[in-house]
Amino acid sequence: MRHMGGERVTEAVASCVALLRTAADRDWEAVKAGRLEWSCHKTAFHIAEDLIAYAGQLAGRAQDAYVPFEITLDDGTDNAGLLQVIETTGALFAATLRTTPREVRAFHPYPFRSANREGFAAMGIAEVLLHTHDIAEGLGLSYEPPAELPQFVLTTIFPHIRPGPGPEHWRTLLWATGRGELPGRPAVTEWRWRNNLVLPTNRLTLQGVTPAAATDLQTGGDGGFEWIDGGPFHGTREAAGMVVKAYEEGVHRPEWGLFVLVRREDGRAVGGIGFHGVPDEEGHTEVGYDLTDAARGHGYATEALRALTDHALAADEVRALIAAIHVDNAPSQDVATRAGYVRASVEEERTAYEDHDMERDLRLYVHRRRPTAAPGTPCDGPSTRTTGTMSDVRHIH
């Protein structure tokens, strides 16, 4: 999946300026921008502010807060001049995206306090498209951006939003941001986009896979990652397909999806790890992992599984993680054991086989959250119940 964030920003800015230039002779200060309280002039300037701010975050590698600067317009700047500012800040942002290495992440507050270049590109494009829509609505103009732009935004920073029917990405984005309606869906009054989650370990980063990257992986691409020889493994592609299916059904939750293992030393991907779905009503979810052939034997899978397990068990909704591993796959069993998983009881495995259709050549490994109790209160014994989703066991090692 070739990185095209800069090109997409350029295309978004061009569509914005081309439309607004047709109304440059009108009074933008006197007209509100659609449903916003801002005037069309203030909203147009806000587009430029966002573009340069995102460029600054990436170029400055900001890690803890927004870079403390802002831009201003010269006194007397007319609408034509303001459009030039949008074009210029867009060009600076696009250039920053093109020259920023893939592994760079910079501060953004929501929801995981950082974003990569694709995330910043999607946020910048969203600002351009949505606020151009607002201005157009205020001025009585018709606006519809190139179709691939709202699709890129939705599949990159709105992974929790089920796409509309067919190619209705623009209508879906307007609905998801409280600017329109979709048949059968309630009106949106509050919304946030979601950048991908990244979990650091000593030698790796576990990078959350967006629906855009998952679609590319599923169809034979690299997902935007630079893989070592032999990758990605077929299990990662299968897991990417699960992400795409969940996204299309509107049930994808990014923190319970797929992560790619990226080495810190060289930024190259070595494998995949993730969940088979959200935790069930009993607080159980299944994990799976794989490595490319060239990355095996270095402890990467164990390191990644420990990090993912610690992160998941810190969530209130999780009581236990489960790995279903083929009886002949001793290396994968060793990974689970080193990461703190224990072989399930005979009764638990029997329940998985008989009640949940787990394949007979799979063995069940479990990592339970340590029970907490008030001082002097005995802790409950280990659960003897297994996951309720074993009918769809697909281990990716």
Please give the domain boundaries of the chain with CATH numbers for all domains.
5-176 (1.20.120.450), 198-392 (3.40.630.30)
User: Across-strand partners of 284?
Assistant: 320
Alpha-carbon gap, residue 135 to 153, rounded angstroms: 19
Element holding 133 (H helix, E strand): helix 117-139
| pLDDT for res 148 | 96
**What's the confidence (pLDDT) of residue 372?**
59
Using CA atoms, how far apart are residues 342 and 353, in angstroms rounded to an integer?
18
Helix (H, G, I), strand (E, B) or coil at 349: helix
| Cα-to-chain-centroid distance, residue 253 | 9
Pick from 365, 342, 338: nearest CA to 352: 365
- Characterize the bridge pairing of strands 284-291 and 320-326: parallel
The pTM for the full model equals 0.90
Instruction: Give the DSSP H/E element, type plus range, for residue 235.
Output: helix 234-249
Per the listing, tokens 């030039």 go with 84
C-alpha dist (Å) from residue 17 to 29, 79, 98, 122, 138:
17, 11, 21, 18, 16
Burial class (CB in 10 A: 0-12, 13-18, 19+), 66: middle
With contact defined as beta carbons under 8 Å apart, do 378 and 274 qualify?
A: no
Token representation of residue 368: 């339970």
In the prediction, which pLDDT does 139 show?
A: 98
Strand order in the sheet with 258-263: 198-200, 204-208, 258-263, 269-275, 284-291, 320-326, 362-368, 342-343
Residue 381 Cα distances to 150, 320, 351, 369, angstroms: 50, 13, 18, 12
Task: Characterize the bridge pairing of strands 204-208 and 198-200.
Answer: antiparallel
pLDDT for residue 377: 40
Counting other chains too, the contacts that 53-57 makes at CB distance below 8 Å and 24 or more residues apart are 54/93, 54/96, 54/120, 54/123, 54/124, 55/89, 55/92, 55/93, 55/95, 55/96, 57/106, 57/107, 57/108, 57/120
Greatest CA separation found in the chain?
79
How far is Cα 157 from Cα 212, in angstroms, rounded to an integer?
Answer: 9
Q: Are 278 and 253 in contact (CB under 8 A)?
A: yes
The enclosing H or E element of 217 equals helix 211-218
Alpha carbon distance 170, 149 (integer Å): 8
The tokens for 339 are 């990461």
Q: Which residues of the chain are under the pLDDT cut of 50? A: 373-397
Return d(Cα 83, Cα 37) in angstroms, integer.
21
Two structure tokens written together for 382: 């280990």
- Residue 122, number of CB atoms within 10 A of its CB: 26
